[in-house]
Structure 1
Amino acid sequence: MFGLLEPLVARRILLGKEMVSLYEAVQEFVVAESAGEVLGCGALHVIWKDIGEVRTLLVREDRLHEGIGGRIVEVLEARAIELGLERLFCLTFEVSFFTRHGFAPIGEHVVDPDVYAQLLRSPDAGVAEFLDLAHVKPNTLGNTRMLKHL
């Protein structure tokens, strides 16, 4: 997964992740492979009791447009439903891809004030991106915040 991620980070398509962060989140990932070769991956991170985030969705560049990313999203959605989540969030440059998969751009207020106050306590950068906090904006320029109701 790290090998797929590095070139995208270098081109500023995805935010960088330390190897330790990938290991810490390994249980959140789905990996697409063929003949033992990693073709793509994506993670489902639970943000709140009813909200999850699709994170680190990527497909090997030479295997784009084969449906691999869409299949990964389907598996992540199924996991989200199993966990009782009702909404999925993503922060992406790939707006058309996520729109085809039922996501839509969102505004600032997607949770009630009590939940917002609780989420502010999270040290997770992805939660800060979900909340659209000012301190993460330099890392998210050009990205679109999107949400899907399951």
Structure 2
Amino acid sequence: MSYRIFDTSPLDPVAQPLIDALKQEYATRYRDFRADSDASAAAELARYPAELFAPPEGAFIVVERDGETVGGGAFKRYDAQTAELKRIWTREDQRRQGLARRVVEELESRARLLGYRRVYLTTGFKQPEAWGLYIDSGYTALFDRAIAPEVHVHLPFAKDLVTPHAIDTLHDLRPREPLGAQH
């Protein structure tokens, strides 16, 4: 089974299955928490212009297998030394095979090439598989894990790309309060 991983744009038709599947997944996972989960998911995926995910400050990759889009992800500039991962996705029938980890590694590699020293991301409280992926990939949880995840709403993680196990370089990324507290 071989995969083709390539750089593209969220506007490329090959990216549409990724965008559509993410929209469906977000809407379904958060339906019990947001009455407007379909609209909320669509708004989240339309929140950033495609240009933010293009070099020299970003990247958007797609993974194809046998001509079908089966995964992908992106990053954009968070600050001068930090890339922010977004839109990490693997098609449901391709999960639990290491593909999401490969997407994260590919994005980290591209971020390093563009001069970023760190990676930051947030994931939702209803996405425990994502938390596991990031923790297993060497990311530090930047939230109080003793508090119920739904209090945080958005769970921040970060990783130092230069010294992967360093956490002292990540303190400024740590939110002062749970990211859901202001909502």
TM-score relative to the length of structure 2: 0.57
How do 1:122-137 and structure 2 match up within 5 A? Answer: none
What CA distance in whole angstroms lies between the structure 1 residues aligned with 2:157 and 2:45?
21
SS across alignment from 1:17: helix
What CA distance in whole angstroms lies between the structure 1 residues aligned with 2:52 and 2:21?
16
Residues paired across the two proteins, number: 119
Higher RCO (CA 8 Å, separation ≥ 6 residues): 1
Q: 1:143 and 1:21, CA in 2 relative to 1: closer, same or farther beyond 3 A?
A: closer
Q: CA deviation at 1:44?
A: 1.3
Contact 2:71 2:100 in 1 (8 A): yes
Query: 2:33 is matched with which residue?
Result: none
Point out the structure with max Rg over C-alpha.
2
What CA distance in whole angstroms lies between the structure 2 residues aligned with 1:36 and 1:45?
26
Q: CA deviation at 1:23?
A: 4.1
What CA distance in whole angstroms lies between the structure 1 residues aligned with 2:98 and 2:131?
16
Contact 2:77 2:83 in 1 (8 A): yes
How do 1:47-66 and structure 2 match up within 5 A? Answer: 47-66=78-97
Greater helix share, structure number: 1
Q: CA deviation at 1:22?
A: 6.5
Q: CA deviation at 1:9?
A: 2.2
Query: 2:141 is matched with which residue?
Result: 105
Q: 1:107 and 1:65, CA in 2 relative to 1: closer, same or farther beyond 3 A?
A: closer
Q: 1:97 and 1:78, CA in 2 relative to 1: closer, same or farther beyond 3 A?
A: same
The ranges of structure 1 where at least 4 consecutive aligned residues each deviate by more than 6 angstroms after the TM superposition are none
1:88 paired with 2:119, answer yes
Q: Unmatched 5+ residue regions in structure 1?
A: 109-139
1:146 paired with 2:157, answer yes
Query: 1:130 is matched with which residue?
Result: none
Q: 1:36 and 1:58, CA in 2 relative to 1: closer, same or farther beyond 3 A?
A: same
What CA distance in whole angstroms lies between the structure 2 residues aligned with 1:101 and 1:30?
18
Q: Percent identity?
A: 26
Q: CA deviation at 1:2?
A: 2.0
Give the root-mean-square deviation of aligned CA atoms: 2.6
Q: 1:58 and 1:26, CA in 2 relative to 1: closer, same or farther beyond 3 A?
A: same
Q: 1:26 and 1:82, CA in 2 relative to 1: closer, same or farther beyond 3 A?
A: closer
Q: CA deviation at 1:107?
A: 5.1
Query: 2:27 is matched with which residue?
Result: 10
Of 46, 64, 71, 1:33 maps to 64
SS across alignment from 1:6: helix
Contact 2:84 2:119 in 1 (8 A): yes
Contact 2:143 2:155 in 1 (8 A): no
SS across alignment from 1:11: helix
Q: CA deviation at 1:143?
A: 3.0
Query: 2:103 is matched with which residue?
Result: 72
Q: CA deviation at 1:5?
A: 1.5
